[in-house]
Amino acid sequence: MRTLLATLIAAGALAFAPIDTARADDPPEFMTETWPERAVSGAWEEYQAVFDPDGALDAKTKALIALAVSAKVPCEYCVYYHTASAKSHGATDEQIIEALASGALVRKWSNQLQGTLYDMDEWRAKVDAMFTED
């Protein structure tokens, strides 16, 4: 439980760091004010690696993913930040709503599949069939 709590706190803290400053030398103030001093450097390096604007995903996509996850956590700080971030990277209100709906549907069906103990082998066979070309 302590590991899960620590992971959630770490994810929450990193989730609202400024994406636009991912290459800045110094971590944002919120990180230095809320994270153990000896761990800030590593946390900031990890954040920079994931939110690198030259990564496989563009900044808008990363902000939309972060917003959808933030809403499901839920984290009011993260939702506020990632909404602003997504908009600053060109996301429309429609894209934001769709990203949130996508996250909500994943959570909904995850709840149903997990809660009913749907057979994993059957699930994999059906999913493989959906995505196999004829």
Is residue 95 a contact partner of residue 64, using CB atoms and an 8 Å limit? yes
Phi and psi dihedrals of 98, rounded to 5?
Answer: -70, -40
Element (H, E) at 94: helix 93-115
Is residue 35 a contact partner of residue 43, using CB atoms and an 8 Å limit? yes
Average pLDDT score, the chain: 86
Q: Give residue 25's pLDDT.
A: 86
| Residue 124: both structure tokens together | 């994999």
Is residue 18 a contact partner of residue 28, using CB atoms and an 8 Å limit? yes
Is residue 73 a contact partner of residue 13, using CB atoms and an 8 Å limit? no
Q: Give pLDDT tens digits for 57-112.
A: 999 999 999 999 999 999 999 999 999 999 999 999 999 999 999 999 999 999 99
Q: What is the pTM of this model?
A: 0.76
User: 85: helix, coil or strand?
Assistant: helix
